[in-house]
Amino acid sequence: MKKILRNIRNISLITVTLLVVLNMGASMSDRIVATAGGTYENLKIFADTLTLVQKNYVEEVDTKELIYGAIRGMLSSLDPHSSFMSPEDFKEMQVETRGSFGGVGIEITMRDKTLTVVSPIEDTPAFKAGIKSKDLIVKIDGEPTKDMTIMEAVKMMRGKVGEKVILTIFREGEAELIDFPIIRAIIKIKSVKHKQIEDNYGYVRISQFQERTTHDLKAALKELKTRGDNFKGLILDLRNNPGGLLDQAVKVTDLFLDEGLIVYTDGRLESQKMQFSAKKNGTEPDYPIVILVNAGSASASEIVAGALQDTGRALILGTKSFGKGSVQTILPLEDGSGVRITTARYYTPKGRSIQAEGIEPDLVVKNVPSASEKPHKAIREKDLKGHMPNGNGKDSGGKEDKKPAEESEEKDTAEAAPVPVMADVEKDQQVKSALDILKSWEIFKKRQDKQAA
């Protein structure tokens, strides 16, 4: 009994510590007084339940694992992006942010409690093996993924370079499950690729926003502009870009703007209310820009597209973006574990919330699939169960559907064809359309100059 009471006191200490950490940086004394009664009443229910489990469960249980499980359940009930990380998971996350690790190279999410591929990362073993967006991962090395967390799945897919991992996939339209044997490799993502398209038109693809993205983008633009005497326009490809570092998204946008708001965040605490604005130094010349987006364009890539769309600096072409407009803050706990909590929403310069809405292209253009490719319905933030509401009253937050599916304004959300590693004007309809717009832009500008003269 003494052991049980000691565990209950530890649970209370952990919970109080967690509450204090979450509310750091603000004057919360009044709010804590107002809610303490209800909080501690509920904590007593939790403690009583833990006592019953420890006393009556068929086998002896690990108290720490029970507490970890309770915290996981608490955070997962908030939204799809809030989560708990054990000490091992927290270390794994820190490895990931360094941008180099042994793995297969896919972005995954949880949809209807099933591990789902958002998109394979370019030039990685998963990409080369044929893993596709919306594939459902039902087994990893023969172990079912049902009830497996994202971090647990990531841990299983990562490992020593050169070793094999088998992903068993359910793919819509296929009669049987498909096994994909994949050899792990160092996943070191080169976030910026570029090439010249025709005469003096540039193409730049950003696959993720990493620490060197702005530096590499500057170098790419410099090279493209020095290849000819008259740089005529840029296609900036953000398709299937899942996001990354906020500061890099701001700096990339700042390259193309000399003033004005880029993005702002809004949350409950003053520390979560931030604004980021453009500076005059280092701004690119005022050449025309077409930005490509699709359902795989999320978070940081939506910040760039939204800011350049709102300011009129670029034309957005493609299909509606993913709609992840929420900010996650990672907070460490004393035992080496950590929590990832959604703390704010992103807003474009004109005050549009990206969350569950995404960026609507100025011109909707879908890629046409080849004969061997099957169109598939894209996954977006609004499709994730329990997603956070938009913040502008446009979305129910995944709690209820305002319209039946057949009455939805967006009747066709299919992403018809995968995005190639690099643009092919002959095969990529979206790139071809973007190039046509840039050419038309040039013709129109020449006509305006002629009339002015």
Looking at the annotation, which residues are catalytic?
Answer: 299, 310, 324
Three-state secondary structure call for residue 68? helix
Tokens in use for 32? 């804590």
With CA atoms as reference, report the closest residue to 168 among 117, 118, 124, 121: 117
**For the chain, what is the largest distance between any 2 Cα atoms, rounded to a whole number of angstroms?**
93
Burial of 399 (0-12, 13-18, 19+ CB in 10 A): exposed
Give the helix/strand (H/E) hosting 97. helix 87-97
> CA-CA distance, 373 to 382, in Å (whole number)?
25
Main-chain dihedrals φ then ψ at residue 410, nearest 5 degrees: -100, 85
Neighbours of 7 (CB within 10 A): 18
Residue in the structure block whose two tokens are 């489990």: 53
Assess contact for 227 and 196: CB atoms under 8 A: yes
For 2, which DSSP code?
H
Q: Which among 318, 319, 322 has a CA at the least distance from the CA of 432?
A: 318
In whole angstroms, what is the distance from residue 74 CA to residue 136 CA? 25
Q: Helix 2-22 crosses helix 29-56 at what angle (to 10 degrees)?
A: 150
As a whole number of angstroms, the distance between CA 401 and CA 407 comes to 11
d(CA 15, CA 333): 11
Question: In whole angstroms, what is the distance from residue 54 CA to residue 41 CA?
Answer: 20
Query: Cα dist. 46→42, 71, 127 in Å?
Result: 6, 11, 45
Residues of 136-167 as b/e, b for ≥16 C-beta within 10 angstroms? Answer: bbbbbeeeebeebbebbbbbbbbbeeeeebeb
How far apart are alpha carbons 328 and 317 in whole angstroms?
28
Residue 442 carries which DSSP code? H
